[in-house]
């Protein structure tokens, strides 16, 4: 009887060991899959402080684990200013981030240039967004650094700037109104920028909001990244989960 019980116990132990090994193998496989899905992505914000960034610290801070830009009625700013990613330039890349904005206008500069280091003034391509209902998702040429062209693509459009100076504009699948309806007011939204060669795509909450193919002589192939606070009415903008992958 004792021998039989011992054999049963041994079998149970072996069975449990096999289950443990299977679970361990499953955990390892899951970890490898997650690591593979994150391959190539680099976080640009540590969630604690502004290490790696520079700008006006009277306007920029870290609050509740987010990069926060804030202006007030008591201390209005005269011109747009930016929080600049230090010592890095981007060319072909995919960038994702979460944003929330209350009042005013903001955006993320890419392939951009520093126009005035004393005031952290930046110009170039901008993935625009706002607290209003018109500009979120457009491609805006801040400071006319990429030629004197202002808004390069309105929301809901794809614009091809050709090498001969002409441009061709077509409509995207969703209208500007449909795209705006999918943007959460004063809440968190996901923004994605894809830039590869002359082709630039802006997306908010999974929807393509604008596309630009820029083969104009004024096109910019490489430059800095920066976050914006806008002159005008008081505003608060927050960023988190900022990640980039080079293409």
> For the segment 217-234, what is each residue's pLDDT rounded down to a tens digit?
999 999 999 999 999 999
Confidence class for position 26, pLDDT limits 50, 70, 90? low
- Other Cβ atoms less than 10 A from the Cβ of 237: the count is 27
More confident residue, 89 or 34: 89
Strand partners, 204: 191, 207
Average pLDDT of the residues of the chain: 90
Please tell me the distance from the alpha carbon of residue 227 to that of residue 85, in angstroms, as a whole number: 8
* Element housing 67 (H / E): strand 66-70
Contacts of 149 (CB under 8 A, 6+ apart): 141, 161, 216, 218
List of long-range contacts for 59-64, beta carbons under 8 Å, 24+ apart = 59/229, 60/229, 63/238, 64/238
> Per-residue DSSP letters for 104-159?
SEEEEEEEEEEEETTTTEEEEEEEEEESSSSSTT-EEEETTTTSS-SEEE-TTEEE
Which residues sit opposite 19 in a β-bridge?
none
What is the model's pTM?
A: 0.85
Q: Where is average pLDDT lowest: 34-48, 72-86, 119-133?
A: 34-48
Out of 3.40.50.2000, 3.60.21.10, 2.60.120.560, 3.40.640.10, select the CATH number for domain 43-246.
Answer: 2.60.120.560
Are 143 and 109 spatial neighbours (Cβ–Cβ below 8 Å)? Answer: no
Read off the pLDDT of residues 88-101 as tens digits, 9 standing for 90 and up.
Answer: 999 999 999 999 99
Give the tokens for residue 184.
């959460």
Give the residue-averaged pLDDT of 159-163: 98
Give the residue-averaged pLDDT of 41-60: 98
Dist. CA 54–CA 167, nearest whole Å: 36
Mean pLDDT of the 140-162 span: 97
């Amino acid at each position: 009887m004792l021998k039989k019980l011992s054999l049963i116990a041994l079998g149970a132990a072996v069975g449990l060991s096999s289950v443990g090994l299977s679970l361990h193998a499953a955990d390892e496989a899951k970890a490898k899959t997650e690591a593979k899905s994150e391959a190539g992505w680099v976080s640009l914000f540590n969630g604690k402080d502004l290490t790696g960034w520079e700008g006006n610290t009277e306007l920029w801070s870290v609050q509740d684990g987010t990069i926060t830009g804030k202006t007030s009625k008591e201390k209005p700013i005269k011109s747009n200013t930016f929080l600049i990613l230090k010592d890095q330039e981007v060319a072909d890349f995919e960038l994702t981030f979460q944003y929330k904005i209350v009042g005013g206008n903001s955006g993320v500069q890419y392939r951009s240039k520093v126009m005035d280091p004393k005031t952290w003034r930046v110009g170039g391509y901008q993935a625009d967004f706002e607290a209003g209902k018109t500009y979120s998702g457009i491609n805006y040429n801040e400071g006319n650094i990429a030629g004197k062209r202002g808004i390069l693509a309105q929301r809901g459009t794809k614009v091809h700037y050709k090498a001969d100076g002409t441009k061709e504009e077509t409509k995207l699948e969703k209208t500007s109104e449909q795209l705006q309806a999918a943007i959460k007011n004063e809440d968190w939204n996901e923004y994605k920028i894809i830039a590869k060669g002359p082709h630039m795509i802006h997306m908010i909450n999974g929807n393509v909001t604008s596309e630009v193919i820029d083969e104009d002589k004024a096109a910019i192939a490489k430059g800095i990244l920066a976050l914006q606070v806008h002159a005008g009415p008081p505003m608060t903008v927050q960023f988190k989960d900022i990640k980039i992958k080079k293409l």
